Amino acid sequence: MTDAEKVFRDITAIREKAPVILSITNYVVTNTTANALLAIGASPIMSHAVEEMAEIVAISGAVVINLGTIATEYVAAMDPAWAAADEHGVPVVLDPVGAGASRLRTNTPLALLAAHKPFIIRGNASEIMTIAGESGVAARGVDSSAGSDAAGGAAMALAEKHGGAVAVSGETDLVVDAAGSRARVLGGSALMPRVTGLGCTATAICAAFATVNKDPFEAALHACVTMKTAGEIAAAKSAGPGILQLHFYDALYNMNAKDVAEHLKVER
Amino acid sequence: MTDAEKVFRDITAIREKAPVILSITNYVVTNTTANALLAIGASPIMSHAVEEMAEIVAISGAVVINLGTIATEYVAAMDPAWAAADEHGVPVVLDPVGAGASRLRTNTPLALLAAHKPFIIRGNASEIMTIAGESGVAARGVDSSAGSDAAGGAAMALAEKHGGAVAVSGETDLVVDAAGSRARVLGGSALMPRVTGLGCTATAICAAFATVNKDPFEAALHACVTMKTAGEIAAAKSAGPGILQLHFYDALYNMNAKDVAEHLKVER
Amino acid sequence: MTDAEKVFRDITAIREKAPVILSITNYVVTNTTANALLAIGASPIMSHAVEEMAEIVAISGAVVINLGTIATEYVAAMDPAWAAADEHGVPVVLDPVGAGASRLRTNTPLALLAAHKPFIIRGNASEIMTIAGESGVAARGVDSSAGSDAAGGAAMALAEKHGGAVAVSGETDLVVDAAGSRARVLGGSALMPRVTGLGCTATAICAAFATVNKDPFEAALHACVTMKTAGEIAAAKSAGPGILQLHFYDALYNMNAKDVAEHLKVER
């Protein structure tokens, strides 16, 4: 089975299963990541109500913990949700948005990782380097100026320490796991970083693949391929980042085996 | 006057009146439901600040209480807002998002309904069946797998108990009231459930019609017809759910008497 | 240097500098204003976590304080953020969303203005008149029925009292400062008020210009020109407000010197 066939097999499984995915996520991307999850065939629910975390996790196929809105009332739900996910064997995808931009954004994912094992950690280079403890990372808000390859060592260190896979988004995506699997995913479009929340969308799409693929490296890799493919298809129709966002959802919704085969560019 | 003429009469009245509509709603759909309300000619305000509820309700033509974000800080504003609406005779449209997915999502709308009379309750089949107390409803997050017709008895029971109208959204919408009025609204597009928050948008549009039509059954029916019409017009121009969402607003904004007459499909 | 040349010089500077802009803003517009800031070349971060305000402000080129979500947990971060901005010399753009619609919405910006100096205040006519203390303003939620020229005296009074510039958005925008500079900006599109949050977007764009132009009047004027230009370009391609929003981002992203020169309509 080729990589492209495996990616499309998983997309088909998501569409058939329509898994519930709980996201504790930031208020910039609730709408857009819900739309991306619906477009790929999943069933999103967004919540940070601590009272319902255990019940919602129990009906979820995967959980997204995204630290973009780092306010107390959001963070309070994360540990209980993750504990429930541990109990039910539900995979958790962690997105340390803005790690390095403030102590709170650095320390909160570290505290969660000290207590729980992630299925996938997904971030940009500076976020991944920050939570791996690499110094000298220039904090630039929630964006990253570093390329994903610069975070290769940090990603590897995180995977070895916490298990699961680590995906670093950038012009080229990098995916690694503790067993030594490593892949670079090329493609996409330079317009993508000009749309807010496409990184958070990659995290949500990782969660969708986590519901149908028990190997975190493959789930993360397939998510990155799907993002790059949809981005490339959308960019070909788009004069700018505004319209791209809508074509991106449509590309996810309509993605077929030929789309994946034509756009997949993976280097191992 | 035909149904289509009555729907368009109400749309025209909304455009002329530009009613303020207060929404206590979830953070997934604040932007999209505000855009839908603006597109149809209303004037949205989103708030959950309990200190201002009485004042904002006093200048509002209708109030949306949407339980999608069920966190304490959102829910705290709902009873005070509804109490102010009761005092001022402002109609309230209740959307029990995700009822059945957690005890909190089931009990919160029930507690509100124990204290206040809704003008319209709008939900999907599983939400309506849950708050009507029907057992055996499979909780699937905020989506519903059941068709709206399956919720006919539940909708009728709710209308009889609480007054007002009940609208059940689905492939076919169902609208009932306690006086025995009953209508099914056909049309729309299979793409619509792939856009997040179009159910919440239907609730917001119910509130817009509630400002110009004192009959809750007619207001709900006209809202459902408007949603199906806009969805059908938008889908004809759309390759997927992403672009559909934007054409949907444009269809609301441009909707004329001929559009309604051509797309309206009501069965009584 | 013509006005158009100065506007485009500043746009170019924003694109080169990619300044971090912190927004404490409302949950209706987090996504759309982040997209507008990315489209013009800035690097947005949205937060209301009081614990990180000082650190995020320290890496920001400008701060947006937008009162659209007036709930306690949002407002709590505003004074600390502004105090940090004062300390670091970071310009603050204040948007008193809905001032006049409730005492809370009127009093909160007044309390902030009693403690801090704004670089720019941007609002619609009724908001500006309200916080200038003009009576008899009809509160209509977050919309304004008054034209911006009606707020000329109020804008002038605010500029004299608090320093900086005041921008009043409307069919025609009005920009003033305490030194007596005054300009009207024409153009745009009647579709723009039918898109939620384009006023908040104007505030965010004011912040982007504040990072590259030390004169608050020029920064506000250039932001208004950029908004009208992008709106006009987008409207020419749009059948309604839905599609317009996306073309608007694309127009910001692609804006060149010729676009500005052709669309700029400033009266002094």
pLDDT averaged over every residue in chain C: 96
Q: What is the pLDDT of residues B31-57, one digit of tens each?
A: 999 999 999 999 999 999 999 999 999
Min Cα distance B171 → chain A (Å) is 16
The length of chain A, given as a count of residues? 268
The pLDDT, as a whole number, for residue C218 is 98
Of B28, B31, B102, the CB nearest to A46: B28
Confidence of residue B145 (pLDDT cuts 50, 70, 90): low
With CA atoms as reference, the chain B residue closest to A30 would be B28
What value does the mean pLDDT take over residues B226-239?
98
> Do B114 and B95 touch, CB atoms closer than 8 A?
no
The pLDDT, as a whole number, for residue C142 is 67
What value does the mean pLDDT take over residues B69-79?
95
Closest to B31 measured CA to CA, from C45, A242, A18, C27: C27
Q: What is the pLDDT of residues C91-150, one digit of tens each?
A: 999 999 999 999 999 999 999 999 999 999 999 999 999 999 986 555 566 666 678 889
**C-alpha–C-alpha distance, residues B192 and B243, integer Å:** 11
With CA atoms as reference, the chain A residue closest to C24 would be A69
Test the C interface: residue of B46, B59, B243 with most C CBs within 10 Å = B46
Tokens standing for C251? 């127009």
Provide the Cα torsion A183, A186, A189, A190; round to 10°: 80
Residue with tokens 């300390």: C87
The pLDDT, as a whole number, for residue A55 is 97
Domain ranges in chain C are 3-267
Q: Which amino acid is at A199?
A: G
Q: In this structure, what DSSP letter does residue A14 have?
A: H
Tokens standing for B102? 């957690």
The pLDDT, as a whole number, for residue A139 is 54
Give the SS3 label for residue B255: coil
Give the SS3 label for residue B170: coil
pLDDT averaged over every residue in chain B: 96
CB neighbours of residue C2 within 10 Å: 11
Interchain pair A245, C34: CB under 8 A: no
Q: Which residues of C touch B56 (CB under 8 A)?
A: 101-102, 141
What value does the mean pLDDT take over residues B182-201?
97
Interchain pair C45, A193: CB under 8 A: no
Min Cα distance C40 → chain B (Å) is 21
Compute φ and ψ for B95, nearest 5 degrees: -125, 105
Provide the b/e sequence for B128-142 (b: ≥16 CB within 10 Å). bbbbbebeebebbbb
User: Could you say which residues of chain A have pLDDT below 70?
Assistant: 135-145
Of A55, A59, A253, the CB nearest to B241: A253
**C-alpha–C-alpha distance, residues B104 and B72, integer Å:** 10
Closest to A84 measured CA to CA, from A107, A112, A63, A108: A63
Q: What is the pLDDT of residues A105-147, one digit of tens each?
A: 999 999 999 999 999 999 999 999 999 998 655 556 666 667 8
Interchain pair B242, A249: CB under 8 A: yes
The pLDDT, as a whole number, for residue B141 is 64
Interchain pair A253, B240: CB under 8 A: yes
What is the pTM (predicted TM-score) of this model?
Answer: 0.96
Is pLDDT at B239 greater than 70 in this prediction? yes
Could you tell me which chains touch chain A, where touching means 3 or more CB pairs under 8 A?
B, C
CATH fold, domain A3-267, is UDP-N-acetylmuramoyl-L-alanine:D-glutamate ligase (3.40.1190)
Q: Which ipTM value was assigned to this complex?
A: 0.95
The pLDDT, as a whole number, for residue A147 is 85
The percent of residues in chain B predicted with pLDDT above 90, rounded, is 94
Out of B145-154, B174-183, B231-240, pick the least confident: B145-154
How far separated are the first and last CA of chain A, in Å rounded?
16
What value does the mean pLDDT take over residues C237-261?
97
What value does the mean pLDDT take over residues B164-188?
97
Test the B interface: residue of A21, A249, A256 with most B CBs within 10 Å = A249
Is pLDDT at B257 greater than 60 in this prediction? yes
Q: Which residues of C touch B251 (CB under 8 A)?
A: 240
Q: Which residues of A touch C248 (CB under 8 A)?
A: 242
Q: Which residues of B touch A48 (CB under 8 A)?
A: 69, 71
Q: What is the pLDDT of residues C193-218, one digit of tens each?
A: 999 999 999 999 999 999 999 999 99
The pLDDT, as a whole number, for residue C239 is 95
The pLDDT, as a whole number, for residue C82 is 98
The pLDDT, as a whole number, for residue C146 is 73
